[in-house]
Structure 1
Amino acid sequence: MNSIFVRTCFGVAALLASTTIAFADPAISIYGGWQTAPHSTVNVTDGTKFTAGWDGKSFEMPPYWGVRGTYWLDDWGYDEVGLALDFNHAKVYARDNTLNHKTPGWTHFEFTDGLNLATANVLYRFKGDRDWTPYLGAGIGANIPHVEVTRPSGTTSEYQLGGVTGQLMLGVDYKFTDHISAFTEYKFNYSRLNVDIDSGDKLKTNILTNAVSFGLTYNF
């Protein structure tokens, strides 16, 4: 299943590149930051059901990061509105008390080579005669998690297409030069996961992530 993730990464990169080539005034952003996730209910088709506590561990390898390509519709007369493609490497680890007390025999449960959220977004910015610009946005796309489960019946460790992801964001961008700006942003994601694990079972859970990011943007 690694090929799913590789194809998706190349697809996102190609779309970002094509956005840059096709439009006169695109912007490319990179960011990192701090990401958390609240508890979620996990259901397995063998009848197992439990509530998982999650840790984000944003600054441990692999870290939390993302990249976004944006095109503001200035040339179309809508300079407050932008279209963006966003790839976000979020992740979650099941806490020790989940493995030790709620899932007997499970020794490993995480999505730490990423939930890998790829979304298409619409942004709106509040322009003014100032260097800083607030903005907000919403998007929808897919998650491509690296599923890591070890339990008495077997081990799963592979990339899969997990399901749909929704995204909301709110941020402020500060312009240093005509080409360089920095931003801070709050991002919320809702991801539905329906993935295969060992013994022909399926695992389902809905993961919510909250992130505070800091990044740099290059405006072409």
Structure 2
Amino acid sequence: MTSIRERNTALILRAASEEFADKGFAASKTSDIAAKAGVPKPNVYYYFKSKENLYREVLESIIEPLLEASAPFNQPGQPADVLRAYIRSKIRISRELPSASKVFASEIMHGAPHLSADQTAQLNTQAKHNIACIQGWVDQGLMAKVDPHHLMFSIWAATQTYADFDWQIATVTGKANLDDADYEAAAQTIIRLVIKGCEIDENQPSASEQVTRA
């Protein structure tokens, strides 16, 4: 059963994500966040102490899913399987946490002044690990000789655009909100571009299948 504290903090975090995404950190007011969350303004300070702490919590709410999205890279797997799972996870983040994604993008564009040293280290370490995995696949001849850094940057851009540029997407598609079919089409399109563009054989056996055959 969800406690009152858990319910209120979740409401405040969601409202703060939307306010920070729409107005930025400096222009956002705790009074507006409280009103959007449907709680008294003192509750914001009771749970988060300050607007700065609340902003950092919003960042944390997107950093954890971003790190978790890289889980496929942290275990043995074939390129097609790993990249497919990673892309789907990144699309899911853009769909489920669009406001927090915008806040994170804005933070990065401004030089990440509010990210802690630990958060920066976690993100960089995971990104370098993912890139090293891709380079390993290239070296093994499992995919084309693409630059792993720029492949990763391209995947980030392609998946995060569904959150960070939702207004443009809505304008072009004529839809106020994308539905299940739209997100599935987005995932499939990006996966196809990456798999085919990197010349990855989708029929390669998985790690478990290789062990079984051995």
Q: What's the TM-score once normalised by structure 1's chain length?
A: 0.25
Pick the structure with more helix per residue. 2
Q: What's the TM-score once normalised by structure 2's chain length?
A: 0.26
Which of structures 1 and 2 has the bigger CA Rg?
Answer: 2
